[in-house]
Amino acid sequence: MNRRHALKALAGLALCPVCKPSFAAEGAHWSYEGAGAPAKWGDLDAANKACAVGLQQSPIDIEATVKSQLPALKVNWGKSADTIVNNGHTIQLNFAEGSTLTLGDVKYKLLQVHFHRPSEHQIGGKNFPMEAHFVHRNDAGGLAVVGVLMAEGRPNAAFGKIVKTMPAAEAPAVKADPSIDPHAMLPTKLSYFRYPGSLTTPPCSEVVEWLLLTTPVQVSAADVAAFAKLYPMNARPVQKDNRRYVLRSI
């Protein structure tokens, strides 16, 4: 296996923290266009079957919601990231042990945050310029992903530092700027939409508790444009909701 193929395999593992390592052949490589495009993910590898036949796939277009008494999101993250990587699919920051999210009586560990352009989730049929996914895992292997919609407006200090330090080409992870505080990429109000879903990348495993914040954060148009030079489009199209209820916190 050459270096590029190894990096692709590791990138897939980083985006799917519950997957076993699988150094697949080149034919199984997935992407957002061409032969490895989202419509073909389910056929690329038997492990990706859920991408084609799953009934709780993500992302979705959020329209009708049910107001519910949902537990508050208790975010207890550290104030810096460990490493940053361009993994061939996105820019991702990885976090060291110690950062957690508590949802009701379940505690999740923060693993990483990565970015999509445009947003993968839609609100009433419309995309936002970008979306951040903070991926958490509990001791049982379940995932909780806090999605943050990103609108163009005032500069965001944390995202600006990410853009300034993001590797321009696919390569192994390097140390992140210690001044990047993940809290700065959250809105003040943590109200959210909640629904059962999946990873939005292969193998599309349906093990995700989606927690999409209702309030977007603002980032500068220049920073969005800089990210777009590396990844002009890295978003999976919306999937059928299959009559799933989307709850909205009060």
C-beta separation of 231 from 117 below 8 A:
yes
d(CA 93, CA 176): 7
> Tell me, what DSSP letter sits at residue 126?
B
> Is there a catalytic annotation at residue 5?
no
Under a CB-based contact definition with an 8 Å cutoff, are residues 66 and 248 in contact?
yes
With a CB cutoff of 8 Å and minimum separation 6, the contacts of 20 are none
The span from the CA of 136 to the CA of 144, in Å, is: 5
* List 29, 89, 116, 121, catalytic entry: 89
Q: Is 244 within 8 Å of 195 (Cβ atoms)? A: yes
Q: How many CB atoms lie within 10 A of CB 46?
A: 9
**E-strand stretches of 129-238:** 130-137, 143-152, 174-175, 192-197, 208-213, 217-219
**Beta strands at 83-86 and 217-219: parallel, antiparallel or unpaired:** unpaired
Q: Active-site residue numbers?
A: 89
